[in-house]
Chain A
Amino acid sequence: MTIADRTSEMREAVARPRPADAASLAAWAIAAQVVDPEIPVLTIEDLGVLRSVKVTDDAVGTHTVAVTLTPTYSGCPAMDAMRDDVLEALTSAGYENVSVRLVLSPAWTTDWMSEIGKNKLREYGIAAPTGHSTVRGSGPAGPIRLAMAVKCPRCSSLNTRELAHFGSTSCKSLYECRDCLEPFDYFKVL
């Protein structure tokens, strides 16, 4: 295994901490299908929002499921919908005592978004985050100041410009393509 493979495997383990036991893993698979209501091509597993699923069985065979999610942005109103949808998905799959909690730590980062998720984003018309959170020049994360061009999800041109830091949801900024002249959303690095 190359160092690059090992690095991406480690990153994947942090981004998607799947449970080890079979019962919890089965419940994880159900919760993992819940999608982001604002970007319905992305599941909460793709985003790295699903943090843990734990199934415990009591003596009479009642399945209790404890799920934790982490918000993408502190004020993201989609979190309430995702929490309700996880509750609904597990309840309709036959689990009786389902609890869903939000945890803030460790803080979510776009580094946790899966490669599959990034591809789905592009196909959906949203440019995926470019690079890791250390790229944030002025940020607390890292010193990298060299910004790379954001590729237009429509025509793949790199001749694009940022129109506004903030976009239609907390997680996006607004760009325009100077070649095909279409505006598009960019899922900004956090």
Chain B
Amino acid sequence: MSNSTVNSDSAEADAPAATPEDAHGHVAVDVTTLDAELIEGPSFATPDVAEYALWLGDDSLILAQQLGAWISRAPELEEDVALGNVALDLIGHARSLLHYAGTASDRTEDDLAYWRTEPDFRSLHLVEQPNGDFAHTIARQFIVAHYLFELYSRLRASADATLAAIAAKAVKEVDYHRDHSTQWVLRLAQGTDESRRRMITAFSDLWPYVEEVFRDDPLIDRLEGIAVRPSSLLPAFDAAIAPVLAEAELEVPCGFVASGGGRTGKHSEHLAFLLAEMQVLTRAHPGASW
């Protein structure tokens, strides 16, 4: 995630014997530099603020990793580009948030992204749900983009200047994501019988994970004025999606609610596989840059 440098000449001389030339060519070991501060003046997160930044940063990171898998596999080239761009924005938000979270424990954004294991991730179960078919990805995207838009709109007024700055930047980008997923929900729901069937299936598969998004964990009570209370976003979220679902002639699915637990590190079976893929290169070549 950090600045990439290619340093093939010095690799042989400097690299330890345990790092031979392999399928990736020479791998140079380089010092990873900490990213620049993101707002004016030094800012360090308190442990509670860091935990909150981790929640939001992990959601963006995991979702970005999922969307990246669509590149070259989307229904059309424009969609490869669109999902790739959405993922890139989310990576940007994740970098800012994880960088800030790391200031509380002297860890870099890369330490947090690549060197934590599953129970240390704080992401929602919704974002770790598999890509499924394109309708599943769009349903997940529709829910997340509308939630993030409401969240970042309010987080701009946070008493924490760094979180407010990250939110003010992110909200404008997430607005495009919201529009993109809305257009696809309408298209799939009203397109053909087959696309409609898939859109309905996707929403009923993913809706059980919506409840966790708006759940208030105890941390929120300790961050009054800094964090946004998730439950307070629900009315605006419902109001934003209702006209889209009405136009698409879809009903809000009702049924069981999934257990959740992502904020305390309890995850479904999907996250470990996702992390294995995301982290394998860094763990195989610790400290490498490319």
- A and B: interacting chains: yes
Q: Determine which of A75, A108, A140, A163 lies in contact with B91 in the assembled complex, contact meaning CB atoms within 8 Å.
A: A75
Are A106 and B36 in contact (CB-based, < 8 A)? no
Instruction: Please give the number of chain A residues whose Cβ is less than 8 angstroms from any Cβ of chain B in the complex.
Output: 35
How far apart are the CA atoms of A134 and B217 in the complex, in Å? 36
Q: Determine which of A80, A101, A106, A170 lies in contact with B85 in the assembled complex, contact meaning CB atoms within 8 Å.
A: A170
- Is A98 an interface residue, CB under 8 A from the partner? no
Give every chain A residue within 8 A of B143 (Cβ-Cβ).
none
Contact with A along B69-110 (1 / 0, CB 8 A): 000000000110110111011111101100000000000000
Are A164 and B78 in contact (CB-based, < 8 A)? yes
Give every chain B residue within 8 A of A165 (Cβ-Cβ).
82, 176, 179-180, 183
Q: Which of B133-172 contact A (CB under 8 A)?
A: 149, 153, 161, 164-166, 168-172
- Is A174 an interface residue, CB under 8 A from the partner? yes
Are B91 and A190 in contact (CB-based, < 8 A)? no
- Is B37 an interface residue, CB under 8 A from the partner? yes
Are A103 and B39 in contact (CB-based, < 8 A)? yes
Q: Which of A129-162 contact B (CB under 8 A)?
A: 133, 136, 138-141
Are B3 and A80 in contact (CB-based, < 8 A)? yes
Are A163 and B36 in contact (CB-based, < 8 A)? no
Name the residue of chain B whose CB is nearest to the CB of A136: B175
Contact with B along A163-189 (1 / 0, CB 8 A): 111111010001000000000000010
CB distance from B53 to the nearest CB of A (A): 13
Give every chain B residue within 8 A of A107 (Cβ-Cβ).
165, 168-169, 172
Give every chain A residue within 8 A of B36 (Cβ-Cβ).
83, 100-102
Give every chain B residue within 8 A of A167 (Cβ-Cβ).
81, 85
Give every chain A residue within 8 A of B91 (Cβ-Cβ).
74-75
CB distance from B224 to the nearest CB of A (A): 22
Give every chain B residue within 8 A of A164 (Cβ-Cβ).
78-79, 81-82
CB distance from A109 to the nearest CB of B (A): 8
- Is A73 an interface residue, CB under 8 A from the partner? yes
How far apart are the CA atoms of A66 and B175 in the complex, in Å? 33
- Is A2 an interface residue, CB under 8 A from the partner? no
- Is A105 an interface residue, CB under 8 A from the partner? yes
Most chain B CB within 10 A, of A71, A75, A108, is at A75
- Is A76 an interface residue, CB under 8 A from the partner? yes
How far apart are the CA atoms of A166 and B173 in the complex, in Å? 11
How far apart are the CA atoms of A61 and B248 in the complex, in Å? 68
Are B96 and A74 in contact (CB-based, < 8 A)? yes
Given A73-B92, A74-B92, A166-B86: A104 and B168 within 8 A (CB)?
Answer: yes
Are A104 and B39 in contact (CB-based, < 8 A)? yes
- Is B38 an interface residue, CB under 8 A from the partner? yes
How far apart are the CA atoms of A136 and B166 in the complex, in Å? 20
How far apart are the CA atoms of A48 and B213 in the complex, in Å? 36
- Is B269 an interface residue, CB under 8 A from the partner? no
Q: Determine which of B39, B89, B171, B173 lies in contact with A105 in the assembled complex, contact meaning CB atoms within 8 Å.
A: B39
27 contacts between A and B (CB under 8 A): A71-B92, A74-B89, A74-B91, A74-B95, A74-B169, A74-B173, A75-B89, A75-B90, A77-B88, A80-B3, A101-B36, A102-B36, A102-B38, A103-B40, A104-B166, A107-B172, A139-B172, A141-B172, A164-B81, A165-B180, A166-B82, A166-B84, A166-B85, A166-B86, A166-B180, A170-B88, A188-B176
Contact residues of B with A, CB < 8 Å? 3-4, 35-40, 78-79, 81-82, 84-86, 88-93, 95-96, 149, 153, 161, 164-166, 168-173, 175-176, 178-180, 183
